Structure 1
Amino acid sequence: MDKFFSETELSQLKNYRFTLEKVHGESDLSITLNELLQKDQLRTFISRASEHIGSPNVKVTASMFIKRYAFLSAIYLYAMTAFNKRFHIQLEHMHLQTDEQDPLWLPTFYFSKWRISEPTGDRDQWRYEAIADFFSNIVTPIVESVKTESKQSKLVLWENIAIYIFWLYESVLAEHEDEEVCGRAVEDLQFIAQLAPGSLFGHYHENPIKRHFHDKRYIPELGEEVRVRTTCCFFYALTGTPDRCRICPQTCNRPKNALKNGGNS
């Protein structure tokens, strides 16, 4: 039996760059996701993206792209946890759409074909299969393709995805008005970030999210506890953006007097 999203649910998903509208007259930075698995197409895409965001090299562009691709995880996981509904999607039916007038390059995701399902019995098994399908078939192939083309560290790319997953569960779903959703959020994050075996993410021996799910610590300059990144995402290297991310290890681990003097290296 086919399941559907309600209008309210679709409205919520749009907060995470999900769209029901296919853009016509597309940008050169709009692409069907399975094309990113083809070396020539990916190389052209990264070159165009570099020019669009003012990136100095392919490694920086790769990192910035995966930070944007990470919002696909927010769409999928929000639906799974908040609505108890699982997207069934394939890369060839998924489109990244770019607004050429957007200088920040915040693309949306359009699915030309998809269906959803709900747990009918053991939710843990349903979640296991949902996580395995999404990461093994949707996330990891793109990460591996981008890593191979750019030579960017896999640690950087996976942490770019991990921080959005942590944000979704700890800052968004943890404050959901429905207590049942809050409870699922705690359980689902624990599974994704700590309990899921590496095999659910593809041909990995270790869970690539787990190593980034370390304790938060208090940063006086921020006035709060944060989970400091273990890698730098290279955001500072973009043209016109000298500042580092607030959770960058090169900022948070810097001596206090350096921070007071501007914080730039």
Structure 2
Amino acid sequence: MFLTDKELQTLAGYRLTTEVNSLSRSALSLLDNETLFQYLSSLKQNTRSANMMVAASLFSKRYSFLAVIGLASMSLYRKSLNLSTDNVYLVEHTRDNMWIPSFQLKQMKGKVLHDEERKHMLTALFREHMTPMWQQLHATTNLRLYTLWENVAVYIFWLYDDLLQQPFPDEIKDRLRDDFSFILSDDQAECFGKYSKNPLARYYTEKKLVPQYDQYVRVRKTCCLSYLSDDKGRQCITCPITCTRKDES
């Protein structure tokens, strides 16, 4: 197998699974407008989302873990997984009555990645997969692309923040820092599609103290709308609505 048991175990923490589920659905099928509309309609009902935009945002937040899986594999193991839309399956799971899907790869194959090949890996992950999915979500529900890109950005920031706090050797930490800078660089804007600037970079801001939570957080620029569903039912601690309201009071 391309990944070792230990690597699989680590990536399982980011929702990669080898389990087969009868409710699994290919990523490629969700790029069809009618299929995606029906899927989001069902998700809207099951999560009691206020409208289709809320369901789309919730979907995109969960779907963003595909990027987390791919980038963790790249930065930790220098392995590039096959994350093409015809190889990725969304596996339905619930945890504590929350919709928490996992991802299964039809073929657990990939390649050992060299530093100079990172651009190709980002292109395959974003321009050829995440960007078309975001564009389809936008076309189907009119949810803003700004919100969709921030939804995936916050999980990428979380991934590297978390990894850099782990007791890895300096060599790996240097690689993590370099990869993170590489991902956010405007030089890689074309890896995300027809962008002149990196669509993730604008969301990487300094953390600020939010008094009501007594925490330093990176306040979002857009609202993810999760509070308008039963999935969360409250605003996030990084919510721009809550944080701005308290700052102005």
Is the Cα contact below 8 Å between 2:28 and 2:86 reproduced in 1? Answer: yes
Deviation at 1:185, TM superposition (A): 1.1
Tell me what 2:194 maps to: 203
Structure 1 residue identity aligned to 2:19: E
Q: Report percent identity of matched pairs.
A: 31
3-state DSSP class of the match of 1:214?
coil
Is the Cα contact below 8 Å between 2:94 and 2:101 reproduced in 1? Answer: no
3-state DSSP class of the match of 2:197?
coil
Tell me what 1:168 maps to: 159
Structure 1 residue identity aligned to 2:148: L
Equivalenced residue count is 249
Is the Cα contact below 8 Å between 1:174 and 1:182 reproduced in 2? Answer: no
Tell me what 1:153 maps to: 144
Tell me what 1:77 maps to: 71
Unaligned runs of 5+ in 2: none
Structure 2 residue identity aligned to 1:8: K
Unaligned runs of 5+ in 1: 259-265
Tell me what 1:182 maps to: 173
Deviation at 1:257, TM superposition (A): 9.1
- One of 214, 224, 237 as aligned partner of 2:205: 214
3-state DSSP class of the match of 1:225?
strand
Is the Cα contact below 8 Å between 2:84 and 2:124 reproduced in 1? Answer: no
- One of 28, 35, 42 as aligned partner of 1:34: 28
Q: From the superposition, tell whether residues 240 and 35 of structure 1 become closer, same or farther in structure 2 (CA, over 3 Å).
A: closer
Aligned equivalents of 1:176 and 1:57: distance in 2?
Answer: 43
Aligned equivalents of 1:232 and 1:225: distance in 2?
Answer: 18
1:27-106 map, 5 Å: 30-99=24-93, 103-106=97-100
Aligned equivalents of 1:71 and 1:226: distance in 2?
Answer: 20
Tell me what 2:185 maps to: 194
**1:21 and 2:51 correspond:** no
Deviation at 1:89, TM superposition (A): 3.0
Aligned equivalents of 1:33 and 1:226: distance in 2?
Answer: 32
Aligned equivalents of 1:241 and 1:169: distance in 2?
Answer: 24
Aligned equivalents of 1:32 and 1:242: distance in 2?
Answer: 29
Structure 2 residue identity aligned to 1:40: E
Is the Cα contact below 8 Å between 1:235 and 1:244 reproduced in 2? Answer: yes
3-state DSSP class of the match of 1:96?
strand
Larger radius of gyration: 1
Is the Cα contact below 8 Å between 1:212 and 1:229 reproduced in 2? Answer: yes
Structure 2 residue identity aligned to 1:229: R
3-state DSSP class of the match of 1:66?
helix
Aligned equivalents of 2:134 and 2:21: distance in 1?
Answer: 25
C-alpha deviations, 1:73-108, integer Å up to 9, x for none? 111000000111111232112110113676210001
Tell me what 1:238 maps to: 229
Q: From the superposition, tell whether residues 79 and 51 of structure 1 become closer, same or farther in structure 2 (CA, over 3 Å).
A: same
- One of 126, 131, 145 as aligned partner of 2:117: 126
Q: From the superposition, tell whether residues 243 and 9 of structure 1 become closer, same or farther in structure 2 (CA, over 3 Å).
A: same
> RMSD of the alignment, in Å?
1.9
- TM-score, normalization by structure 1: 0.88
Q: From the superposition, tell whether residues 251 and 33 of structure 1 become closer, same or farther in structure 2 (CA, over 3 Å).
A: same
Structure 2 residue identity aligned to 1:59: M
Deviation at 1:225, TM superposition (A): 2.1
Structure 2 residue identity aligned to 1:119: L
